[in-house]
Amino acid sequence: MHALELEVLSRAAEWLAAGHTVHLCTVVKTWGSAPRLPGALMAVRADGQMVGSVSGGCIEDDLIARAREGRLTPLSDLLEYGVSRDEAQRYGIPCGGRLQICVEQLQDVASVQPLLDSLQARQLLRRSIKLGTHEVELGEAMPGSMAAIEGEWFHNYYGPQWRLLIIGANQLGASLASMAQALEFKVMLCDPREEIRNQWQVPNVEWCEGMPDDVVLALAADHHTAIVAVTHDPKLDDMALLEALKSDAFYIGALGSRLNQEKRRERLRMFDLSEEEIGRLHGPVGLSIGSRTPAEIAVAILAEIIQIRSQQRSAALASQAIAHTLSTHSSPSCAS
């Protein structure tokens, strides 16, 4: 769940509390070059005010027009855009793009509150709505689950905001923190060196007090958390990595040359870490793009984080498709 989706749900709850009619629009499926992923949200009021995005193009304008004219469903329904070349050009969808959107009229604040509560508790929640009705079911979900239609039900998944914990308040840490916020990560930072901390100037970063290993342990890193150590001080970086590599963080990286990374791996082998856990470490950190300056290295690190996150999402989608195929084609055995 991105910060934008959290904003959409929070605003929708405010509008509902104020007595407005609110529709929630969710990307269900995309084909070709559609610009938003399944699960992307937009909320629109009957007077045309909106928050969020489902395309970044003219589809938002069409949904706003439908809301103002009272043409959005009072229940729940599916809309498709970009079915023909003319529609794709009309709605500003890239060549070959097509997307399906679930539109539902929210009933009251109570219909949104469970989603907000799960986000605050950093829990993953499945919300299923029966198309053509207001019938909703809530349940647990597995990490990596993606929005999908199953029969007459639309399943969407609401998870916690992506987080990035940076160990090191140096110039690279500052560049990384600034860029990660632009990518909608919640950024946290740990650096026990007071003289370094006093020079920090990047706003909207959550400072974590304590030594790096204690901070990582207290963080309880989940599948929506990335941890990057950039102090270049083994006493600090290695302490954080010892706990990070045993956590559920989806990405763990550390600054340093190949030679220094080999020395670090040898040090880590002296502790209670398996080879599989040590193998999770991305070091040298970041994609190999010839980066040299702190800003360039930050770009390389975030590019690798996005790459790993996308690979895991693709793997989860593939597993979800296989599971759906198996469940569709399986049938109970019958005794003759």
By DSSP bridging, strand 136-140 and strand 125-130 are: antiparallel
Q: Tell me the per-residue pLDDT of 167-201, one tens digit each, with 9 for 90 and over.
A: 999 999 999 999 999 998 999 999 999 888 888 99
Residue range 86-99: mean pLDDT, rounded: 66
Per-residue confidence (pLDDT) for residue 184, from 0 to 100: 84
Contacts of 85 (CB under 8 A, 6+ apart): none
Q: How far apart are CA 313 and CA 300, in angstroms?
A: 20
Residue range 105-110: mean pLDDT, rounded: 95
When pLDDT is cut at 50, 70 and 90, the band that residue 322 belongs to is: low
Furthest CA-CA distance within the chain = 80
Tokens representing residue 5 in the block: 């989706």
Picking from 267, 23, 32, 233, the residue whose alpha carbon sits closest to that of residue 134 is: 23
Per-residue confidence (pLDDT) for residue 239, from 0 to 100: 92
The answer to whether residues 103 and 27 touch, using CB atoms and an 8 Å cutoff, is no
When pLDDT is cut at 50, 70 and 90, the band that residue 3 belongs to is: low
Per-residue confidence (pLDDT) for residue 145, from 0 to 100: 76
Per-residue confidence (pLDDT) for residue 146, from 0 to 100: 80
For 26, 75, 105, 106, 111, the CA distances from 134, given in Å and listed in that order, are 15, 6, 8, 8, 10
Per-residue confidence (pLDDT) for residue 280, from 0 to 100: 96
Tokens representing residue 65 in the block: 């027009």
Contacts of 139 (CB under 8 A, 6+ apart): 125, 126, 128
Q: Tell me the per-residue pLDDT of 219-234, one tens digit each, with 9 for 90 and over.
A: 999 989 999 999 989 9
**Structural domains of the chain, with CATH:** 3-158 (no CATH), 163-310 (3.40.50.720)
Dihedral of alpha carbons 118, 124, 129, 135, sign: negative
Mean of all residue pLDDT scores within the chain: 88
Q: Tell me the per-residue pLDDT of 28-80, one tens digit each, with 9 for 90 and over.
A: 988 766 667 888 999 999 999 999 999 876 789 999 999 999 999 999 999 99
By DSSP bridging, strand 251-254 and strand 281-282 are: parallel
Contacts of 5 (CB under 8 A, 6+ apart): 39, 40, 41, 52, 158
Residue 327, SS3? Answer: helix
